[in-house]
Structure 1
Amino acid sequence: MDTQNFFTSHICILFIIFTNLANHALSVNQKFQDCAPHACGKGPNISYPFWIRNEQESICGYPSFDITCNEQNPVLKISNDEYIIKDIFYSNHSLLVANAAAYRDACPTPLHNVSLDRTLFSLGMYLSNFFIVYNCTSLPQYPTYELDCASSDTLHSFAFSHEEASSETCQSLVDVPVDMRFGVNSTSLSQMNYTEILKTGFLLDWTAPNCSNCEQSGGRCGFDNSEFVCFCQDRAHHKTCDDGNSVGKFLIII
């Protein structure tokens, strides 16, 4: 083989390889930029494990943790119900949510209990139960929040916070969790109206791979090809930016 042609062909091969490497590095660096924390209105900053649909790529968050930015509010959909994210506590993997119907409907009427995918979310601590009953044939003797918009001349719907209350004369009962931190207690609940209680919201704990080590090393967490990834300024790593294990290394043999 002609020596000049040999070196020319090798130079071309090396050029292609290094061009691919450069493009790969640039694309990963772009992912680091794309997965920067995002804001949605006046809500909390959104970052891993959450990602904003139509604004970020799904690789920036954990599967099923996508949210939408709706009317300047971050909204999380759980079992086809929408919940406004009031706050996110990244350090202990929890978030405070409230039924979105309480913010947009004149008469919010949750029709079923909160249904959670236990592999993703679980109810947090410090919760109290707030009950809503529909189509009751009689009114109770204890204080309630009557829902005139969901009642008729013969059937009554109302809400209450009495655990000993009976719903035997009603067609359905919905249990709404209410967060009891930040000064909220049975006395303050009794002074709120029905919609204010729903807006109090409740705490959810989430389950997703921990991001703290990646973040402490200067990276941003993501999830690509069903695997946790730490996006760094130079490239993607498996765990942290200084672990020396990059994603998608090339082997060059000359």
Structure 2
Amino acid sequence: MLQNNVLVLVFLPLLATAPHAQPVDESCAPAACGSLTIKYPFWLRGRQPAYCGHPTFAVTCDGATPPSLNDSYLRVLAIHYGNSSVVAFHANLVDNPICVATRFNTSSTLALSLLAVSRANSELYFCKNCSRTPPTGSVAVNCTGLRGSSEWFLSLNRMYDPRGTARWPDEMVGCQYSVVPVMPGSELNTARDYAGLVRSGFLLEWTVPGDCAACDASGGQCRYDAGAMAFRCFCPGGRLQLATCGE
């Protein structure tokens, strides 16, 4: 029976913030979290007011591990503000041995809104119980000894497609499999490559309301207005404008 466990992003409840309860005159200057620079739409939970970023993009920085995004399983490795993308890895996939991780159901574990898995990613397939020859270029994984285990294969596809089963290769028919996105340009030569691939993460792209760059250019600071659930530009004199300080 064909199975498909694809990474799915669903919605996290917004942080509860009372309308207009926050002092909007406090600075939201870029902050450091290890090697990361945190600025709108991201904000540092526990170190910055919630209005400094969008509720979805709260970063928890404890200094011991890569920071988590909105207290999810996602660990942030890099943030690229120029093209609105994040490099992150899934902690459960990294922390578990390969033969356990391949059975991990990623479809019910991530809860983030306003983010999408980038089409630029490659796809890492986990295949088992194939009734025909495994996909060309597959790498065998020995899971002998684990309860309910069978021979697994790893296979790499060069382009991530969010349509899922609309475009599986014909070679995958007759196999049970799950899919995890990995970074563009990833290489799979042996089963030992698995750990490096999942730890290197994958690309997520964000889309948030408002033009923060235009607000900054007008002399303002980017804010999230919890009362209106919308972007605002905080301008000199304490004014909250809809878009820029030039209005």
TM-score range, shorter chain: 0.5 to 0.7
Question: Counterpart of 2:143?
Answer: 148
**TM-score (structure 2 length as normaliser):** 0.67
Alpha-carbon distance, 1:115 to partner: 7.8
State the shift of 1:174 in Å: 1.4
CA contact (8 A) 1:40 1:73 kept: no
Q: How far off is 1:233 after superposition?
A: 5.0
SS at match of 1:85: strand
Distance (whole Å) between structure 2 residues aligned to residue 161 and residue 84 of structure 1 = 23
Q: Give the alignment partner of residue 32 of structure 2, picking from 39, 46, 53.
A: 39
Structure 1 residues 189 and 215 mapped into 2: Cα distance closer, same or farther (>3 Å)? farther
Kindly name which structure, 1 or 2, has the bigger radius of gyration based on alpha carbons: 1
**Closer, same or farther in 2 for the Cα pair 1:228/1:164, shift >3 Å?**
same
Is there any run of 5+ residues in structure 2 with no aligned partner, and where? 1-22, 158-168
Contact 1:147 1:159 in 2 (8 A): no
**Map 1:55-66 → 2, pairs under 5 A:** 55-66=47-58
CA distance in 2, matches of 1:40, 1:104: 22
Out of 131, 149, 166, which is 2:172 matched to? 166
- Matched residue SS, 1:148: coil
Separation in 1, partners of 2:113, 2:37: 24
Which structure has more helix as a fraction of its residues?
Answer: 1
Residue pair 2:72, 2:110 contacting (<8 A) in 1 also: no
Quote the residue 1:222 is aligned against. 223
Query: Which residue of the partner structure matches residue 132 of structure 1?
Result: 126
1:179 matches 2:197: no
Shift of 1:177: 1.3
Which is further off, 60-69 or 143-152?
143-152
Kindly indicate whether the alpha-carbon contact (under 8 Å) linking 2:232 and 2:241 is maintained by their aligned counterparts in 1: yes
Residues 56-75 of structure 1: per-residue CA shift (max 9 Å, x gap): 22211113222322424221
Equivalent runs, 1:199-238 vs 2, <5 Å: 199-209=199-209, 210-224=211-225, 225=227, 226-232=229-235, 234-238=237-241
Q: 1:56 to 1:161 in 2, by over 3 A?
A: same
Which stretches in structure 1 are left out of the alignment for 5+ residues? Answer: 1-26, 245-254
Aligned length: 205
Relative to structure 1, the CA distance from residue 154 to residue 88 in structure 2 (aligned partners, 3 Å threshold; closer, same or farther) is closer
Q: Secondary structure at the match of 1:101?
A: helix
For residue 91 of structure 2, what is the amino acid of its counterpart? A
Q: TM-score, normalised by structure 1?
A: 0.65
> Partner residue of 2:161?
none
Q: Residue 28 of structure 1 contacts residue 234 of structure 1 at CA under 8 Å; is this kept in 2? A: no
- For residue 78 of structure 2, the aligned residue among 71, 87, 100 is 87
One-letter identity of the residue aligned with 2:189: S
Is the counterpart of residue 48 in structure 1 residue 40 in structure 2?
A: yes
Aligned to 1:69: 61
RMSD across aligned positions (CA): 3.5
Report the Cα distance in structure 2 between the residues aligned to 1:95 and 1:154, rounded to whole angstroms: 34
| Whole-Å separation in 1 of the counterparts to 2:156 and 2:232 | 45
Is the CA contact (8 Å cut-off) linking 1:139 and 1:156 kept in structure 2?
Answer: no
